[in-house]
Structure 1
Amino acid sequence: MLARLGLSFCLIGGLVSPASAAAPSIQRQAIEAGRTLAQSHCATCHAIGKRGQSPNPQAPRFATLAQRYPLDNLAEAFSEGILVGHGPMPEFQFDPDQIDSLIAYLRSVQSPVKKAKKRAPK
């Protein structure tokens, strides 16, 4: 009985593990697709990586976007077209798969939020 139970867990584990292992691969593919989109549509004005300054000083760096805007809110703007932004901000509209990839890429390059240093009272 225990042998069958152990075999059952092994078989179930074998069925679950490949799907779990595929998730990081799918995420990497989405991030790479988002990076490609950012490179072709955004890099003229924005610093799209984790470091560097934006070629257009009015264009925020991708690494700090989450400090300005909730990234999930950008998904709607990407689908409807971003009308407000730095000047001259072109109007882009992306399909749902492109939006998911671009958001995945944006999440991957976010800088950690710096905490203010506490000062000792005088």
Structure 2
Amino acid sequence: MLGKAALGLKCGMGVAALCALSLALPGLLGPLAAEKDLTGRGRVLVEQNCGRCHAPGKEGDSPHAEARPFRTLSSKYPVEDLAESLAEGIVSGHPEMPIFVFEPQDVAAIIDYLESIQDVPAAAPGEAPAEAPAETPPQAE
């Protein structure tokens, strides 16, 4: 049988190990959690800012008939090509489309989300997607 001092030491070591594990666990899961948070943040931004015209998810039609569903963007050009336009302000040929300017961390989240919902995998740099001729993404102002 353990004495009170030995029992206290054993319990103290267990508490210390539990504390160390609770501090280390977020670091071990951090990259996975950060990736999920980035995609989730991008989804929210796209739904809030673009969903009134574009279909922002993996299914459904765009509310505005002329607005491309976001899941089809990679059939025209690599999604990451939108990063500069998102940061500086997208200007499209469509007069009803507002100009959006996003912070760098939001641009990363939007690109991450858009890449996660594409119907067609993105083309390699310098290579046109297989399904359609390459188009130029909307330009920054």
Fold similarity call, TM over 0.5 = yes
Q: TM-score category by the smaller chain? A: 0.7 to 0.9
Partner of 2:44: 36
Counterpart residue type for residue 109 of structure 1:
I
Counterpart-to-counterpart distance in 2, 1:69 and 1:49: 18
Matched, 1:82 2:63: no
Q: What secondary structure is seen at the aligned counterpart in 2 of 1:107?
A: helix
Q: Which ranges of structure 2 fall in alignment gaps of 5 or more residues?
A: 1-24, 122-129, 132-141
- Percent same amino acid at aligned positions? 37
Quick one: which of 9, 33, 52 aligns to 2:60?
52
**Does structure 2 retain, via aligned residues, the 8 Å contact 1:58–1:87?**
no
* 3-state DSSP of counterpart to 2:54: coil
TM norm structure 1: 0.73
Secondary structure of the corresponding residue to residue 104 of structure 1? helix
Rounded Cα–Cα distance in structure 2 between residues aligned with 1:39 and 1:63: 13
| Runs of 5+ consecutive residues of structure 1 not aligned to the other structure | 1-16, 117-122
Superposed CA RMSD in Å reads 2.2
CA distance 1:60–1:85, shift in 2 (3 Å): farther
What is the CA-CA distance between 1:19 and the residue it aligns to? Answer: 4.8
Max Rg structure: 2
Contact 2:74–2:118 under 8 Å retained in 1: yes
